[in-house]
A and B are shown apart, each in its own frame.
Chain A
Amino acid sequence: MSGTLTLNKITAQRGISVGEAAKKIADLGWNPSYVQEAMTFPTDYKIAKAPKDPMKQVLRSYFPMQEEKDNRVYGALDAALRGDMFRNVEPRWVEWMKLFLAIIPFPEISAARSMAMVGRLAPGEDLRTGFTMQMVDEFRHSTIQMNLKKWYMENYIDPAGFDITEEAFGKCYATTIGRQFGEGFITGDAITSANVYLTVVAETAFTNTLFVAMPSEAARNGDYALPTVFLSVQSDESRHIGNGHSMLMSMLKELENHLLLERDMRYAFWQNHAIVDAAIGTFIEYGTTNRDKNKESYAEMWHRWIFEDYYRTYMLPLEKYGIKIHHDDVQTAWKRLTEKHYVHRVAQFFAVGWSANFWRIEAQTDKDFEWFEHKYPGWYAQFGEFWKWYEKLSHRGQTNILFNSDVGYVYPHRCWSCLVPCLIREDIVTDEIDGKLYTFAHEIDRWTAVEAFAGEYQGRPTPAMGRFSGRREWESVYHNVDIADAIKDLGFVRTDGKTLVAQPHLRFDEKEMWTLDDVRGHILKSPLLTLREMSPADREAHLADYRKGFTINPCN
C-alpha cells in the first residue's frame, strides 16, 4: 500500500506531541508575588522537589475518553434491564450491595476533596493535571455509584435499605468502619491522608480487591451492572496510582520525611487491611451463592494482589530508599486472613447484629459449608454450628441471635482504631489515651491510635497529625437502650412504622418479616463503657476470659 494516497495523508497536519503539550500545560503555574496562598492544609512533611508527571496527562483527551467510558457503562445498564437481569440475580448478593454502596460514594468524593490538599502542597505544576483528572474522576465515581444504587433501588425486589442509603451510612454499626476509611482521606496531616493513606496504599493496593475481585463475584451472581460500573471505575485508578507514586518519590528525597513515611505506610497498610478486608472479604465470601471450588477464595486473591503484587513489587523496593518496611505486619495480616479466619469472624459479627442494620443477611447452608471448609480448612469446626443457629433463629418468634444465650456467641469489644471489633479474641489489647481506657483489635491498632495519631512521634513533634475523635464506639451511642428503640431511632424501620428494614433471611413474605415487636425487650450495652465501669481486678479477669474466646453451642 506504500505510495498510495490516503485520507490521512491528505488531511494530516503538524501537531504538537503529547509530551510537548504536557510541558506547556505544566508551565501555566507561577509563584504568586502579590498575595501568598494560605497554607490551609497542615502537614509535617517537607516537600521541596516538584513531583513529575510520567503519564503526560492533558484534559483535551481526558474528557472524550471518560465520556466514551460512560457511554459504555450506561449502555450496559440499559442492556441489563432489557435482558431482565434482576429476574436471575441472586438476592443474597444484592442485599450486601445495600451496605457496600452506602459506604463507597463518601470515600470516593473524599478522594476528590483530597486533591485540593495535594494540589496545593505539591511544588510546581507538573502534576496539576493529574490531580485535576483525579478530582473529576472521583466526582465521577461518587455520582456513578449513587446512580447504580438508585438503579438497584428501582429494579430489585426489595428496595428497602437502598431507599435510606445515605442516612443509613451515617448511622449503622457497620458503616462506621467505612466512615473511618473515608474520613482518613481528608482529615489530619494532609500528606498522611491524601497521599499515603489514600493513594499510595488504598488505591495502589486495595482497589484491586474492591474494584476487580468484587465485580467478578457480582457476575457469578447474575449481577452484570456492578462489574460494568466498577471495572470502569478501576480503569481510572492507574492514573491515581501514578499520581501517588510521583508524590511519594518527591517526598523520599527529603531524609527527614523517612520516619513519617515509615509511620504512615505502617498505619495505612494495617488499617486498609483491617477495613477493606473486613468489608470486601465478607461481601465476596458471604454474599455469593457460587461455590465453585476452582475459583480463588478472597485469601487467595489477597495473596496474589496484595502480597505478591503490592508488597513485593511496590512496598519492598521502598527499602532501597531507606524506608523501613514492616514485613511482619504483612505476614501478620496474611495469617489473620488464613489461620485466624478474620473475614469469617467479621461476617459472623455482621450477622449477629443483623437487626440493627439495613439489609438482609441470609444464613449460610450446607453447600456453602463445603466450600468454606475446602478453601479454609478448619472453618466448619468454628463456624458451622453458628450458621445453623443463624438459620434456626431467622424465623419470627425466635429470640434475636444478638441476645440469645443458647448460641454461645459473646458480643465483641470494638477496636478504637480500625472500628472493626476485636474479633480475633486473643489479640485484644488495651491502652489509655488522655487517661481514658480503650480497646484495640491488635497491637498495631493500639500503636496507630496511641503512638501514630499523636502530637509527637518517636520524639519528633508532629503537630499536623490528626486525632481519633467522636463517639467512635458505636455501641456507646445506645448504651442501656432497648434494641427496638435503637432501631427506631436509627430509622431502620420500613414505612409501615413496624417492619424492620433488615431481615435475617431472603423470604419476601410479610408474614415472615420481623417487626419492632419481635425484637423488643432486650437492652444494648456498650462493651467499652462496661469495661471502664469494672474494678481493675474484674477488668483483668474479663479480658483474660475474652482472650480465651467462646464456643458456639451445638444447634439441634
Chain B
Amino acid sequence: MTAVPNVSVGSGAAGAAIFPDSDSRKYRYFEPRSKRATHYEDVTVDVQPDPERYLLQDWIISFPNGKGAYTKDNTAALSANWHAFRAPDQEWERTHYQRQSKIEAMVQAVIANGRKSGAPKSFDKAWIKILQNHLGAWKHVEFGLGTSLMQAQRYGYTQMINNATLTNSSYKLRLAQDITLYLAEIGMDVQGFDDAAGKRVWLEDKGWQGTREAIESIMGSADYLEQYFATNIVFEPLVGELFRSGFLMQTASSNGDFITPPVISAAEADYERNLANTIDLMHLLATDNQHAAHNKKLFQGWVNKHVALANKAAAGLQPIWSQPHSKPVQYADARAQSVERVKKILGELGLTLPKE
C-alpha cells in the first residue's frame, strides 16, 4: 500500500511549505553549553523534569514524607543551578554501547588468543596465585562500586548527573564481570586454580579488610553525590589506579602474563572518562556563585573521611607488591605516583590532601 498524503501541500517533508516556525529545527527549551547543542545535550537535557523549570503542576506523586520524585536534598551539596552540568564524555546510548561492546570484543579476543597459545600455563606460578587471590578479590571492589553507583543514579537532581552516574555504574559492573569470567577461563587451563579463593580473600584476608571497609563505606553512604565523589575523586586514584596500573598492569608481563594488562586496561580508560565527568560536576559546585564555600567545606570533609579509608586500604594491600617473583615496580613508587595523582585532582577543586 502506498500512503497518499491528505495534506494541502502533498508532502510531509521539511521545506514542503513555508509558515511560522517551519524552519524551527532545534530544541529551543534549554541553553546549550556552547554555541550549538551537542547530540548528547539534545537527547539528555530536561528529560528529568524540575518543578523550578517546566513542571507546572509540581511532582504529582509524593513519598509519605511529602517529597516528590527528585529533590535537591538527596545530597548535602548545594547548587545555584543544578542544570548547568554537562558530562564531558557526552555519553548517550549509542556511544555507550559502541564503547562497551568494543571493550568486550577486545577483552574476549585477548583472552581467547592467549588461551589458544597456552599462555596461562606459562604464567609464573606465584603470579597465578596472585591472580587467583588478589585479582579475584579485586573483582568485588569493582562490583561494590558498580552497585553503589547504580543506587546513586536514582537520586541526582538532573538527567545529566544521573546518566553520568548510570554509565559509570555500567562500566564498573562490566569490569567486575570481565574479571570474573577472565579468571574462570584461565582457571580452566591452570591445574589447581581455585576460582572461589578470591571471594574468601576479599571477606577474610586481613590485608583486604581496609579495602572492603572503604568500599562498604561508599556503598553505605546515603548521599548520592558523596558516593560519586568518593569513588572517582578519592578511591580510584588512591586505591583503584594504584592496584590496577601500579601493580597488575606493570607487574604482569615480567611474570609471563600478557593477558591481564589489556583486560584491566579498559578500566583505566573507563576511569579517565568517569573522572572527567566527576571533576567537571564537582568543579561547578566548588565554584558555585552562591554555595562555593559550603560545598568546598563539605567536599573537604568527604576527602578527609574517604582518604583515611583509602590510605588504610592501600597500606593493607602493600604486601602484595612483594609476592611476585619478578618485581619491576615497588609499592612505594606506585604509591607516590597515586598520591601525586590525587593531589592534582584535589588541586583542580581547590581541596587539600590530609596528612597521613
Contact = CB atoms under 8 A, between A and B. Distances in A.
Contacts of A501: 21
Contacts of A50: none
Among B14, B15, B57, B62, find the residue whose CB has the most chain A CB atoms closer than 10 A: B57
B217 to A, nearest CB: 5
B166 A34 contact: no
A170 to B, nearest CB: 3
Contact of A42 (B60, B63, B139, B213): B63
Interface stretch (A314-322, A438-446, A502-510): A502-510
Contacts of B24: 159-160, 163, 494-495
B320 interface: no
Contacts of B167: 139
B29 A166 contact: yes
Interface string A477-507: 1000000000000110011100101000011
A170 B16 contact: no
Q: Which of B68, B96, B97, B100 has the most CB of A within 10 A?
A: B97
A552 interface: no
Contacts of A506: 6-8
Nearest to A222: B3
A496 B13 CA distance: 22
Interface stretch (A338-346, A464-472, A543-551): A464-472
B61 A163 contact: no
Contact of B27 (A27, A114, A165): A165
Given A88-B5, A92-B6, A59 B59 contact: no
B188 interface: yes
B195 to A, nearest CB: 7
A370 interface: no
A166 B28 CA distance: 10
Nearest to A171: B56
Contact of B181 (A21, A86, A289): A21
Given A38-B221, A42-B63, A513-B20, A64 B104 contact: yes
A188 B23 CA distance: 43
Given A112-B153, A166-B29, A496-B21, A91 B181 contact: no
Contact of A15 (B46, B104, B143, B185): B185
Nearest to A92: B6
Interface in A358-413: none
Of B12, B47, B63, B209, most A-chain CB atoms within 10 Å: B12
Interface string A198-215: 000000000000000000
Given A113-B162, A147-B43, A166-B47, A154 B25 contact: yes
Interface string A1-43: 0000000000101111000110011011110111111101110
Interface residues of A, number: 124
Interface in B234-271: none
Identify the interface centre among B9, B20, B25, B105: most chain A CB within 10 Å of its CB. Answer: B20
In this complex, the interface size class of chain B, counting residues with CB under 8 Å from chain A, is: 35 or more
**Which of A28, A499, A513 gathers the greatest number of chain B CB atoms within 10 Å?**
A28
A155 B220 CA distance: 48
Contact of A40 (B28, B170, B222): B222
Contacts of A46: none
Given A24-B184, A506-B8, 13 more contacts: A24-B181, A36-B220, A38-B220, A40-B151, A88-B2, A109-B48, A154-B14, A166-B49, A170-B49, A180-B60, A464-B64, A471-B56, A506-B6
16 contacts: A15-B188, A28-B140, A35-B219, A37-B151, A59-B173, A74-B94, A88-B5, A116-B151, A135-B166, A136-B166, A146-B43, A163-B27, A163-B29, A183-B61, A468-B62, A471-B58
Listed from nearest, the 10 A-B pairs whose CB atoms lie closest are A170-B54, A35-B220, A222-B3, A116-B154, A167-B29, A470-B58, A146-B43, A67-B101, A86-B13, A508-B17
Interface of B: 1-3, 5-9, 11-30, 39, 42-49, 53-64, 66, 68-69, 92-94, 96-98, 100-101, 103-105, 108, 112, 115-116, 139-140, 143, 146-147, 150-154, 159, 162-163, 166-167, 169-170, 173-174, 176-178, 180-181, 184-185, 188, 195-196, 199, 202-203, 209, 212-213, 216-217, 219-222
